Structure 1
Amino acid sequence: MSGRGEHRPLRVLVAGRDGQLARALVPAFAGAGWRVSALGRADGLDLAGSPSAIVAAVRSVSPDLVVNAAAYTAVDRAESEPDAALAVNRDGAGALAAAAHATGAPVLHVSTDYVFDGDKGAPYTETDRPTPIGAYGRSKLEGERAVLAANPRSAVVRTSWVVSATGQNFLRTMLRLAETRDEVSVVNDQRGAPTFASDLAAAALRMAPRLLRSPAGDEAFGVFHLSGAPDTTWHGFAAAVFAGAASRGQKVPKLNAIPTSAYPTPTRRPADSRLDCSRILAVHCIARPDWRPSLERCLGQLLHAEASVPA
């Protein structure tokens, strides 16, 4: 257990400086008085690099907590680059967790609903057997196992459909398509839930105090699920995005519902990746965040910024 935060600000190392989750974690922790070091490849923390370099990066911060928001997330490209996905999502994640363990810091590691095949027909619990159907999902599952093996004070949080006002994500893609198309087609037979990066960051901050004070073996660690609420489909989420944009005076396209078979991709997506989030509520008192208010805030931010740019 770490007691190093008594006479100085607590320090958190966020791996993955430029990702959409990392960019939400920084203000969340800084706003709560933490000293935040967000490191990426340009800062010497390359999860595809050598374990010794990862150790050096962690030691340079001497963190009380490590949050791993870095990942290889190119789902389709992973099929042709499985070794690259494993290098980051398994080997790098495991090395980061080991380096944290060596300094006495717990780890909060972010994973994905893609560790499941989507065939259960009901929300997945943490005790369900993972059965990934693509290289990306396999690399993330192996990463979970590597992290838990390397650091007994690790919490793995599986989430789904991460979106934010930054980076490449479904929300921003829909808004971009709305600018140039009269019609947009989106699959309506893949079920899950969008999760805003800001809501994940808030959950990480709420988990942090207990992770710091708890010993290995405590129920604070292990695997947890956290996704937004309510569950929906990609088509349902797109409809909410366009409705919000239209309410702000934006031109929106006609939205068509199509089956997954009409939109083939190199990697098959889980048809139903709903997550049962009751464990994180019971252990960490974190309820599923309603994504609809977060969507409204995000649209306000994005569309206000767009409207503020001079013609």
Structure 2
Amino acid sequence: MRVLIAGREGQVARALVAKLGAAGHATVALEPPALDITSADSIAAAMREATPDLVVNAAAYTAVDRAEDDEATALAVNATGAGLLAGAAAAAGLPFVHYSTDYVFDGTKGAPYTEEDAPSPTGAYGRTKLAGERAVLAANPRSVILRTAWVCSPDGGNFVKTMLRLGRERPQVSVVADQHGAPTFADDLAAAVVAMAPRLVAAPAGDAAFGVFHLTGAPHTTWHGFAEAIFAGAAARGQKAPELRAIATHEYPTRAVRPADSRLDCGKIERIHGIRAADWRAGLEACLDALAGPRTGRADEGRG
């Protein structure tokens, strides 16, 4: 199978190239200027050259706070571009996979969100990603939307790498303890595409394989709980861990409002595709192995 991936250097794109390649699939991963998803001409040229069986969109505008002041650019990439790419895949008779976000919800439900819950984004990033979901589904009925959250990997910028850096630089680190969700490792998001791909390529429009699905790690935690696990893992690898202080969201103001409780229910993707939410603690161990080397001792991992 040949897979065209929009995006090349991001966390998920890198994981896709590795996982699909390991499964024996050929990949063509492109980003601007080789593939500009906001340009129909650029998309058409990439499609002609790649001749894919499946198209995956791992390109996105993800600067959550900057999007508040640059929503037009975020919309061009996250919505208009996503729709153009999905439409090009549809015109070629191909299925399409698109990544979305927990930010399409406002975080006030008080329980994990299902795919049936009505989205209600609170900021520009969430609005543009929701617009992208709708554009993709309108352009290509053979599309899968994978909503995820708190993505991390050994590549790129993410919470794990930020905590490791702060732990080296500071004796004390403060982390928000009243925002609930689940870390998700890019390898697991890529593995889901590998698992789904054969069915997506074969299935017709209207098949239950297509639609919106939630996929994050498990179990649910808080940013503070995640940080505890990161520092415990770092300590077990011989690194000095800082004092970790729990704070409330209002003590760490940001330009964009974050959902307070963006836990996602991942039952649908397990029922339809047989894909279970992966334990993020295992993903964290693999990530820390890559970033800090193997464990050299024992440490109790905090949970939150």
Question: TM-score, normalization: structure 1?
Answer: 0.93
Indicate the percent of aligned positions where both proteins have the same amino acid: 64
- Does 1:285 pair with 2:274? yes
Report the residue type matching 1:240 in the other structure. Answer: A
Conserved? CA contact 2:152–2:184, under 8 Å: yes
Q: How does 1:169-184 map to 2 (within 5 A)?
A: 169-184=158-173
Partner of 2:203: 214
Conserved? CA contact 1:230–1:291, under 8 Å: yes
Q: Summarize deviations over 1:33-91 as a string: whole Å, max 9, x none.
A: 1110001114x21123x212212212211110011111000000000000000000000
Structure 1 segments (4+ residues) deviating >4 Å: none
Conserved? CA contact 1:59–1:103, under 8 Å: no
Q: CA RMSD in A?
A: 1.1
Q: How does 1:79-228 map to 2 (within 5 A)?
A: 79-228=68-217
Partner of 2:249: 260
Q: Summarize deviations over 1:250-301 as a string: whole Å, max 9, x none.
A: 0111000000000000001000000011100000000000011111111011
Question: TM-score, normalization: structure 2?
Answer: 0.96
Partner of 1:34: 25
- Does 1:17 pair with 2:33? no
Q: Summarize deviations over 1:96-115 as a string: whole Å, max 9, x none.
A: 00111111110010000000
Secondary structure of the structure 2 residue equivalent to 1:13: strand
What is the count of residue pairs matched by the alignment? 295
Tell me, which stretches of 5 or more residues in structure 1 are unaligned?
A: 1-9
Q: Distance in 1 between matches of 2:51 and 2:4?
A: 8
Partner of 1:242: 231
Q: Distance in 2 between matches of 1:293 and 1:18?
A: 23
Report the residue type matching 1:14 in the other structure. Answer: I
Partner of 1:6: none
* Superposed displacement of residue 238, structure 1: 0.2
Conserved? CA contact 2:237–2:293, under 8 Å: no
Partner of 1:45: 35
Q: Distance in 1 between matches of 2:104 and 2:64?
A: 12
Secondary structure of the structure 1 residue equivalent to 2:213: strand
Tell me, which stretches of 5 or more residues in structure 2 are unaligned?
A: 297-304
Partner of 1:233: 222
